[in-house]
Structure 1
């Protein structure tokens, strides 16, 4: 048997007794001089960090991206520079609306966030298992999430709030149709796709821009629970997807995904019939086919959940040279909101935590100090720029290419003239009869407690997407579709 290590305090001081507190006699009170006891209790009181507001419960694993197709004509990002190139990564899956103790099988979108440890720094692709979202204007994000959380008085889930918001936000129709189909209850994290969802930009060595959407397509096949199966599994094993992912990797059954892109030129974007940066819509694959550029594999479990999964911090603002943002309003807000959430939850130096730290490049920044600063904190080097003492300097080749903008600064009505029904209707129409039945049944079950006013308003949206969609929900709720349509 290997020699056991000596137990120490967090400061490395040997602990003489970890079984008994220091007391004044066998029956006396505990003494304040028991420094080991004080350290254990004080640290215990601080073991929990603030829970993520969204994506609170998750699972993660390490892996690699292997490039299978050369797209260097579109991007100067070095991770895509040659076929066969491998980049290490960490991927975190999550549910969105529930708390840390919620069930993995709950009806909810799933987060799909990937941190690529590239030689040019970390690139974070922070998306979901759906290619669209409920809203297109970030001003509405806090309102949306409040409806998915608990009622402020009863502390219970609130179907009225959910459907009141959806019925007053027709742009949610596409995502609502996905969420209440069986795609809203994936069987496991391995059996679902991931999407960057937003439009991003690729910049090539000549400074030319191509708009891009990222798709991560499972090789395990899509598998979903029915609503009845999801309810049953949630009661029997609330951690079903977390368990499945860990066990599969532990057994060497490494899950893989096809890493794909859709590409659109600036000229195509300018001539596109709708806003290509609208997060509530997809780009038609017939016009912009998927191009497979790599294979993503997960092959290593974390050694410690808290250190590596709970403290993992992803930000869409982590964009390496050759990959940039777009005018997508939701993305623009996430560029601020995500790193700001990490500064609140983990501290100003969260990038120094091992799971978040850049691995293949030196970090040469002028940020100093703050809670939990690791290393020498820059030593005696200057903490300002420009300076005359050999400090790091900017690299002009990493600048984004100029993007032409037009229009007056104003608050534009994002719903005016927008078609929020066609793509939701298209999705409904390609479903099988069984899939349509499940979708309508799931919606009916969720909407049953809400008022007729909200039901009527939401059913009119379903009818706008497809008459059979609206009629099916109305009949499921025992309502006359003609009366619903006649009521304003």
Structure 2
């Protein structure tokens, strides 16, 4: 019996060595270390840890392949090792670190990750070009994902966001056509910018976001210089049961910096994976990227006075009316040890909330709650939340005949505010962005980018786009029209 147990432990060690794990649920770490020390070095094994002979590894001549356990194990593993790609944000990179509270906001939100100055919570962040397929240059112009997972004592909190403070539409029915417009034309498998112009013409409210995309914000210098935004106005509650409505900002401490189109093309020609490499190298040498986390706060009285536009994700909350209050830091100090296991399988869902954070009352948020969970079920399988990088810090307890689990004693929240959404209108903010927030040089680069992207379009499409830009600001429309006529 002892010999059988030793044999089992040797095989277990071989299997663990094959996966390079430092932990196994069936064996404590000290015993596992001893087993590894006493195990043969460089032992080849199949996936269950069973050793294979030299003959099985090196030759298949004149033998039934179906009986070669090593070959069958390798082929079936290779055939199934890739997961389905994400619908958007398919290409990406990420890292791990911590969230640290620097200022008290417990009077706004009772979530425990905010309840003490100096408190640290582990986080994972994934950065991603929205439209890129895997293998595409990371420096392509476009919106980018900035998604944060907080591993809190109350469960995982997911904030999947963007590097833009607003979204292109407040109607979730428009999302599918937006996705298709960003993808390659299925007939010829080439990118067709006309699809994007059709979206903008049909949804003028998208201009508020695309002025940033076509401007300097469309190409960050690095992920370390890229801001992040949770585009929704979240409803949070404090211990007294008082509701507040907040938007979060993640501002890079290295400063918000960008590349011009010419600079990006030059970098991409020599290093298409520049963003991933820069992030990895910075963390590896101890130059840890960090962000200041700020919050904009609106009260129930503000909702009464400003109306439902506070929840319009195509608009920003005006800084003059709702100033930003810094309250935390995020520092990334660890690179993934296994990209596939820790970044590719990292899954975000807006429905992953903690006590004190109720979510957002707008329809896009409601649609995202379902869409993200459904996408993860398809991409990673029915138990995606059990993948280690997606697991909460505390596992679920199951009742038995001895100890009955105790339910949470948290106070039941009243529920999300019910809002009445109106037809989108944000051209006032687009005009403010163009006229007062962009410098003359930024406007000039915006004109150049739009003219270059619009040149291949038909004259009818060009005219519609010019009219749309003119409605934002006469100078914007006139300059683009002059640039197109000069070509």
Q: TM-score, normalised by structure 2?
A: 0.88
Contact 1:160 / 1:451 at 8 angstroms: preserved in 2? no
- In structure 1, distance between residues paired with 2:178 and 2:225: 27
Indicate whether 1:452 and 2:447 are aligned. no
Structure 1 residue 30 displacement after superposition = 5.4
1:11 corresponding residue in structure 2: 48
Q: Find the partner of 2:412 among 387, 399, 411.
A: 399
1:269 corresponding residue in structure 2: 303
Contact 1:21 / 1:37 at 8 angstroms: preserved in 2? no
Structure 1 residue 394 displacement after superposition = 4.5
- Cα RMSD of the aligned pairs, angstroms, is 1.9
Runs of 5+ consecutive residues of structure 1 not aligned to the other structure:
365-377, 383-387, 481-488
Give the SS at the match of 1:461: helix
- In structure 2, distance between residues paired with 1:403 and 1:108: 32
Contact 1:21 / 1:34 at 8 angstroms: preserved in 2? no
- In structure 1, distance between residues paired with 2:230 and 2:188: 35
2:446 corresponding residue in structure 1: 439
Contact 1:65 / 1:297 at 8 angstroms: preserved in 2? yes
2:312 corresponding residue in structure 1: 278
Indicate whether 1:246 and 2:292 are aligned. no
Q: Find the partner of 2:431 among 422, 425, 431.
A: 425
Give the SS at the match of 2:187: coil
Structure 1 residue 69 displacement after superposition = 0.4
Indicate whether 1:141 and 2:182 are aligned. no
Q: Find the partner of 2:484 among 463, 477, 483.
A: 477
- In structure 2, distance between residues paired with 1:432 and 1:31: 68
Distance 1:404 1:169, change over 3 A: closer
- In structure 2, distance between residues paired with 1:53 and 1:273: 34
Structure 1 residue 5 displacement after superposition = 4.4
- In structure 2, distance between residues paired with 1:15 and 1:249: 39
Contact 1:21 / 1:30 at 8 angstroms: preserved in 2? no
Q: Find the partner of 1:22 among 43, 60, 64.
A: 60
- In structure 2, distance between residues paired with 1:123 and 1:328: 19
1:363 corresponding residue in structure 2: 396
- In structure 2, distance between residues paired with 1:419 and 1:479: 32
Structure 1 residue 22 displacement after superposition = 3.0
1:370 corresponding residue in structure 2: none
1:369 corresponding residue in structure 2: none
- In structure 1, distance between residues paired with 2:42 and 2:263: 48
Distance 1:175 1:461, change over 3 A: same
Indicate whether 1:464 and 2:464 are aligned. no
Structure 1 residue 108 displacement after superposition = 1.2
2:102 corresponding residue in structure 1: 68
Contact 1:209 / 1:401 at 8 angstroms: preserved in 2? no
1:374 corresponding residue in structure 2: none
- In structure 1, distance between residues paired with 2:417 and 2:190: 47
Q: Find the partner of 1:213 among 239, 247, 266.
A: 247
Structure 1 residue 348 displacement after superposition = 1.3
Contact 2:308 / 2:419 at 8 angstroms: preserved in 1? no
Equivalences for residues 34-433 of structure 1 within 5 A: 34-272=68-306, 275-359=309-393, 361-364=394-397, 392=405, 394-395=407-408, 397=410, 399-403=412-416, 405=418, 414-415=422-423, 418-429=424-435, 430-433=437-440
Q: Which whole-Å deviations, capped at 9, do the CAs of 1:93-141 have from their partners, x for residues lacking one?
A: 1110111111110111110011111000001111011100111111100
- In structure 2, distance between residues paired with 1:22 and 1:397: 63
- In structure 2, distance between residues paired with 1:363 and 1:60: 27
Give the SS at the match of 2:375: helix
How many residues are matched? 447
- In structure 2, distance between residues paired with 1:284 and 1:262: 9
Distance 1:474 1:273, change over 3 A: farther
Q: Which whole-Å deviations, capped at 9, do the CAs of 1:193-244 have from their partners, x for residues lacking one?
A: 1111111111101111100001000001111110111222222211000000
Structure 1 residue 6 displacement after superposition = 2.0
- In structure 2, distance between residues paired with 1:398 and 1:23: 69
Structure 1 residue 292 displacement after superposition = 0.5
Deviates more, 1:348-357 or 1:29-38: 29-38
Give the SS at the match of 2:310: coil
Structure 1 residue 35 displacement after superposition = 1.2
Q: Normalized per residue, which structure has more helix?
A: 2
- In structure 1, distance between residues paired with 2:339 and 2:218: 26
Distance 1:397 1:163, change over 3 A: same
Contact 1:144 / 1:165 at 8 angstroms: preserved in 2? yes
